[in-house]
Chains A and B, each alone.
Chain A
Amino acid sequence: MTEDQVKQIVIDIIDEIAPDEDTSNIKPEVNLRDQMDLDSMDFLDIVMELRKQHNIEVPEEDYPKLASLDSCAEYLTPKFNA
């Protein structure tokens, strides 16, 4: 799994949990919360879907690592490839 594929997985999850947000122009280096109306409850859902759909566990202390698409890719890709 590449970092780009992981980014697409995260985008797909955001599309699913926040269908009213536009995910077509997300800047990968910018915090997701600064470009979209996402709150802590939404991040809980991202984590929930990662677990449900991909069996990826993200412990609560690692939530900050999901801040931007780039940091998601950096943090999650090794987990997907493990």
Chain B
Amino acid sequence: MKPNDLDNQHFETVIIGAGMAGLAAGIRLALAGKNVIILERHNASGGLNSFYSQAGRKFDVGLHAMTNYVPKGTKGTPLTKLLRQLRIPYDALDLCPQNGSRIAFPGCDLGFTNDFSFFESEVARAFPKQIDSFRALAEEVRTLDAFNLGAIPTSAREAVQRHISDPLLEDMIFCPVMYYGSAEEHDMDYGQFAIMFRSLFFEGFARPLDGVRVIIKLLQDKYRSLGGIRKMKCGIQKIHTSGGKASAIELDSGATITADIIISTAGAVETARLCEDQPADAEADNIGQLSFTETITAFDQQPTDFGWNDTIIFFNTAERFRYARVDDALVDPTSGVICFPNNYQYGEGRQLDEGFLRVTAMANHDKWCELDEEDYLAQKAYWYDELQKVTLGLLPHPKGRDVCHQASAANDGRLETAVPTLQSAIDIIAQHRIASDMFTPRTVRKYTGHLNGAIYGAPNKIKDGRTHLDNLYLAGTDQGFLGIVGAMLSGISMANLHVLQGD
């Protein structure tokens, strides 16, 4: 069916966007026997979490790790609820748990695994005076009703400071929590903090061997098997409105379709601006300010062959951790996330053929988008090298043959050992690099449509999914559940609440 064939068709529900939230919402509605269509502007599903091929090699974007990991059979957690709602068996996700990750700050490292007691012991080792307060914070987060905070401050910084007095520990806790989903600068909502803290530290990290495409394919196949319709390369030009309702959807192709209910995963501001009754600059105060860049490098050997065993490293090299828009540079290389997709417990004989290293840091959307093509490529090359240097500074010196600093016999006959320098590390990994690429905020904007290339969307989340129109609802990033599991749960709960429950 070509997009034009959709002209004048009516659907019970139209879902805008085939990312995790849109696909999950689609499955719920198809399960209920609804006449549902998912419209996606891009030619691939997944949205913020997707993949692409370059010279026959598949690169993931998004997903370093799936958070919210729990072993099979664990009851009552977000992952379990999600699988049940989508009627997907646990084993289909091929979730393989992480080896171990760490938070690396100047002079202090905190390791963590999928076993919370290990993280606790790390805090006790590095911050012996803070461990009781840390336990109290963890207990509060564990029992907190994240959607009904009452007397507890909504500022996560304030809430954490009620327990933790050492700013270093405070920053070290916030670094991974913010990097894995906060759309807000400097601080975040305590409810969101609690959801993220649980998903990272109480639950944990896992990944399918073949990465995010396993999850996307699973969702697509499920949706298709239930009779759901999905239309790719089908962007939306405008949502027509009449009497406080969405009356029709005009597609880029010029075709017009109608729907009883629309669920949009395009973003809060992005969706408002599609509506014909809203000005082109609607909701300007709720545009996300945080965008990111990420390098990806493929090696001809495993990361462990270099002596790199971490799964994920959340790092900060500055005196205080700053999670905010990058103002005066293209990239802020002082903090970020390093990920080795190889370093998961894939089981005997299962491993990715090549070694991969991904490095994420915050970046300035406007500055990247201003560059002409030549400068853009030059800046990509420059920042690729800079982020590689930062990364090598945080990792053990790579094992390998050192080409530049051979041990040499000095005149007096003593052997002088080579000093491991940054340059020698760069030289060693260069011998093993077989491919590299980098996405910038410009790439994010192009493929997700998020204003400012803001991966985590708008700072003010719309938790009930309601918009100014009666039959138009939001799901996904801007509804406020975080991470891949959160995105899928968002699609599920918005479909349940606004379409199925009122049925």
In the bound complex, CA of A52 to CA of B500 (Å): 13
What 1/0 flags go to B462-503 for Cβ under 8 Å of A? 000000000000000000000000000000110010001110
Q: Closest B residue to A37 by CB, please name it.
A: B75
Residue of B with least CB distance to A36: B75
- B75 near A41 with CB under 8 A, answer no
A60 vs B500: C-alpha distance when bound (angstroms) = 10
**CB pair B81 A41 closer than 8 Å:** yes
Q: How far is the CB of B44 from chain A (nearest CB, A)?
A: 29
Contact partners of B32 in chain A: CB under 8 A: 48, 51-52
Q: Does A18 contact B (CB under 8 A)?
A: yes
Chain A 17-68 interface residues, beta-carbon cutoff 8 Å to B: 17-20, 37, 39, 41-42, 44-45, 48, 51-52, 60
- Chain B: residues with Cβ within 8 Å of the partner, total of 19
Cross-chain contact of B496 among A17, A41, A51, A52 (Cβ < 8 A): A41
Whether the pair A39, B501 counts as a contact (CB closer than 8 A) is no
- A42–B73 Cα gap in the complex (Å)? 17
A41 CB contacts on chain B under 8 angstroms: 81, 84-85, 492-493, 496
Question: Which chain B residues numbered 73 to 128 have a C-beta less than 8 Å away from chain A?
Answer: 73, 75-76, 80-81, 84-85, 87, 89-90
Interface residue B31 (Cβ < 8 Å from any Cβ of A):
yes
Q: Known interface pairs A48-B32, A52-B33. Does A17 touch B87 (Cβ–Cβ under 8 Å)?
A: yes
Partner of A18, one of B31, B84, B501: B84
User: Which A residues touch B73, using CB under 8 A?
Assistant: 20
Neighbouring B residues of A39 by C-beta, 8 Å: 76, 81
Measured in the bound complex, the distance between the Cα atoms of B80 and A73 in whole Å is 28
B84 nearest in chain A by CB position? A18
Interface of A is mostly: helix
Which residue of B is nearest A48, CB measured?
B32
Q: Mark B292-308, 1 if CB is under 8 A from A, else 0.
A: 00000000000000000
Residues of A within 8 A of B81 (CB): 39, 41
- A18: chain B residues within 8 A (beta carbon): 84
Residues of B contacting A19 in the complex (Cβ-Cβ under 8 angstroms):
89
Bound complex: CA of A13 vs CA of B357, how far in Å?
Answer: 46
Determine how close the nearest CB of chain B comes to the CB of A47; give it in whole angstroms. Answer: 9
Contact call B501/A44, Cβ cutoff below 8 A:
yes
Chain A residues within an 8 Å CB radius of B501: 44, 60
Q: How far is the CB of B64 from chain A (nearest CB, A)?
A: 28
Q: Mark A64-77, 1 if CB is under 8 A from B, else 0.
A: 00000000000000
Which residues of A sit under 8 angstroms from B75, Cβ to Cβ? 37
- Please name 15 pairs of A and B residues whose Cβ atoms are closer than 8 Å in the assembled complex, sorted by A: A17-B87, A20-B80, A39-B76, A41-B81, A41-B84, A41-B85, A41-B496, A42-B84, A44-B496, A44-B500, A45-B31, A51-B32, A51-B33, A52-B33, A60-B501
